[in-house]
């Protein structure tokens, strides 16, 4: 069976990308999860991965071509049975990245039935979109939930081109702006804060790091990511996606780690299966993510996999970070700096290292009381770091 390989959306803030290089040739075999092409996006250079096992039939897009999300890039010849990967819930064995639960993967969309059913376009807009050959998936991706798209929206989409390298920063700023505007427009956020005693975590970290060479040491972000993952596993309503008008919880916790891009902007690639990995493994993977963000080379699965995000401004000395949810996720944790502060302990005032967690969560999925339990569950885990 011949299927189309389309440019996937790598997050709510992506509208288009430029193909820089094919990593496969016609006639070559490709496995699910294997990179097929390199594309330049506002987040940098990203390797996009195949959703299916098969053989490359032909390459449609030419390197250097700007493509809207959903554009057909290549055709794959897949075995009919393997082709069922489109709707399969089973994660790829060796490549967790393009999991069937990832937001907006083309394959999942294909299986979900005609996009047109959910898409609302004015007649003129539909005609114009057809003239311009904009695929439904691009429209669906750009459409705000429940709003009808008009011809102006279509023209704007048609002109959305990836920026020249010199404009990369302002392009990233625009992309973040668009995604965050969508988050604020569509998601009824609620916010909760909780300051905790970070002494146990800090003491454990110092004791762990002291005898080890620099390259094997841990940083507190990794402890926090693991604590969030474990808490998200226990308290339901914070881990997963809001899609098609309902919450889809995820069984695995893929923690998005917000990483600032020098010169402005940020990306939040995922620590896959953070709930089930030990701290040294998470540290290695986090370290690798940061290195590849700095070198400008990431993999598509990392952008679509996160089921919840953690973001920190501790290094910049702020006390509290009030985060904005990254759609289609439903929760995000912000952390400030670890700071020595007066702390009431057993009826006395003592100085302790403290950390303030802020939760932004989606009111369509959870309430403040559940949110409070979630924050307490994170704090509890950070109080017992040896169990992380």
Partner 1 sequence: MDIRDIRTRLLELLTAIAPDIDAAHVDPQRALHEQFDFDSMDALHFATAVSEAFGIDIPQRDYASLASLESAAQFVLSHLPGGA
- Total residues contacting partner 1 (rule CB under 8 A)? 24
Check residue 146 for interaction with partner 1 (CB under 8 A).
no
Residue with smaller CB distance to partner 1, 9 or 356: 356
Range 115-144, binding partner 1 (CB under 8 A): none
Is 287 one of the binding residues for partner 1 (CB under 8 A)? yes
In sequence order, the β-bridge partners of residue 77 are 2, 55
* CA dist., res. 357 & res. 315, Å (int): 15
Contact between 18 and 67 (Cβ < 8 Å): yes
- Pick the binder of partner 1 from 22, 51, 247, 286 (CB under 8 A): 286
213 lies in the site for partner 1, by CB under 8 A: yes
- Identity of the residue, 116 or 295, whose beta carbon is nearer to partner 1 in the bound complex: 295
Q: Helix %, strand %, coil % for the chain, to 5?
A: 35, 25, 35
Distance of CA 129 to the CA centre of its chain: 28
> Of 204, 220, 224, 189, nearest to 378 (Cα)?
224
3 state DSSP class of 23: coil
**Residue 56 β-bridge partners:** 76
Shortest Cβ 209–partner 1 spacing (Å): 5
Distances (CA, A) of 96 to 53, 93, 345, 370: 14, 7, 44, 29
The residue within the footprint of partner 1, chosen from 220, 273, 285, 362 (CB under 8 A), is 220
The least distance separating partner 1 from the CB of residue 312, rounded to whole angstroms, comes to 8
CB nearer to partner 1: give 138 or 354.
354
Query: Does residue 215 touch partner 1 according to CB under 8 A?
Result: yes
Token couple for 257: 């780690």
The reply to whether 166 sits near partner 1 by the rule CB under 8 A is no
* Rounded-to-integer distance, Cα 213 and Cα 50, Å: 38
258-277 residues in contact with partner 1 (CB under 8 A) are 259-263
Pick the stretch among 12-20, 47-55, 88-96, 205-213 that binds partner 1 (CB under 8 A). Answer: 205-213
Q: Within positions 240 to 259, which residues make up the interface with partner 1, using CB under 8 A?
A: 259
Which residues have C-beta within 8 Å of that of residue 221, sequence separation ≥ 6? 257, 286, 310, 312
DSSP 329: B
Structure token digits, residue 334: 């912000």
Verify binding: residue 290, partner 1, rule CB under 8 A: yes
Does position 314 interact with partner 1 (CB under 8 A)? The reply is yes
Asked if 315 interacts with partner 1 (CB under 8 A), we say yes
Binding of partner 1 at residue 170 (CB under 8 A)?
Answer: no
Which span sits near partner 1 by CB under 8 A: 158-166, 217-225, 232-240, 340-348? 217-225
Residue with the two structure tokens 């620099």: 214
Shortest Cβ 213–partner 1 spacing (Å): 7
- Spell out, one character per residue from 291 to 310, where the chain touches partner 1: x when CB under 8 A holds, - when not: x--xxx--------------
CB 91 within 8 A of CB 272: no
CA angle 238, 304, 55 (to 5 degrees): 140
Residues in touch with partner 1 (CB under 8 A) = 206, 209-210, 213-215, 217, 219-221, 259-263, 286-287, 290-291, 294-296, 314-315
């Amino acid at each position: 069976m011949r299927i189309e390989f389309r440019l996937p959306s790598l997050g709510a803030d992506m509208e288009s990308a430029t193909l820089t290089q094919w990593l496969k040739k016609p006639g070559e075999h490709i496995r699910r999860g294997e990179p097929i092409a390199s594309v330049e996006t506002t987040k940098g250079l990203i390797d996009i991965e195949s959703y299916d096992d098969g053989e490359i039939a032909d390459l449609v897009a030419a390197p250097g071509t700007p493509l809207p999300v959903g554009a057909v890039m290549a055709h794959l010849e897949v075995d009919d049975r393997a082709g069922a990967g489109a709707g399969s819930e089973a994660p790829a064995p060796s490549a967790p990245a393009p999991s069937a639960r990832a937001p907006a993967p083309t394959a999942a969309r294909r299986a979900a039935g005609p996009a047109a059913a959910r898409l609302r376009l004015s007649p003129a807009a539909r005609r114009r979109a057809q003239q311009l050959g904009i695929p439904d998936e691009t429209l669906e991706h750009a459409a705000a939930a429940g709003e009808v798209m008009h011809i102006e929206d279509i023209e704007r989409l048609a002109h959305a081109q990836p920026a020249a390298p010199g404009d990369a920063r302002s392009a990233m700023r625009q992309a973040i702006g668009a995604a965050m505007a969508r988050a604020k427009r569509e998601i009824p956020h609620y916010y909760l804060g909780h300051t905790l005693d970070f002494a146990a975590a800090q003491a454990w970290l110092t004791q762990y790091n002291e005898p080890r060479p620099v390259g094997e040491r841990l940083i507190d972000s990794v402890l926090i990511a693991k604590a969030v993952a474990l808490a998200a596993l226990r308290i339901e309503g914070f881990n997963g996606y809001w899609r098609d008008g309902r919450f889809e919880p995820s069984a695995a916790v893929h923690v998005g780690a917000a990483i600032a891009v020098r010169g402005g902007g940020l990306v939040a690639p995922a620590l896959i299966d953070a709930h089930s990995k030990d701290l040294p493994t998470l540290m290695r993977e986090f370290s690798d993510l940061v290195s590849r963000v700095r070198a400008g080379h990431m993999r598509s699965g990392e952008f679509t996999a996160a089921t919840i995000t953690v973001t920190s401004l501790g290094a910049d000395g702020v006390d509290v970070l009030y985060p904005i949810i990254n759609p289609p996720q439903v929760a995000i944790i912000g952390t400030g700096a670890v700071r020595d502060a007066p702390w009431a302990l057993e009826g006395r005032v003592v100085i302790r290292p403290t950390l303030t967690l802020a939760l932004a969560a989606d009111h369509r999925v959870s309430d403040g009381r559940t949110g409070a339990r979630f924050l307490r569950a994170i704090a509890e885990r950070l109080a017992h770091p040896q169990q992380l």
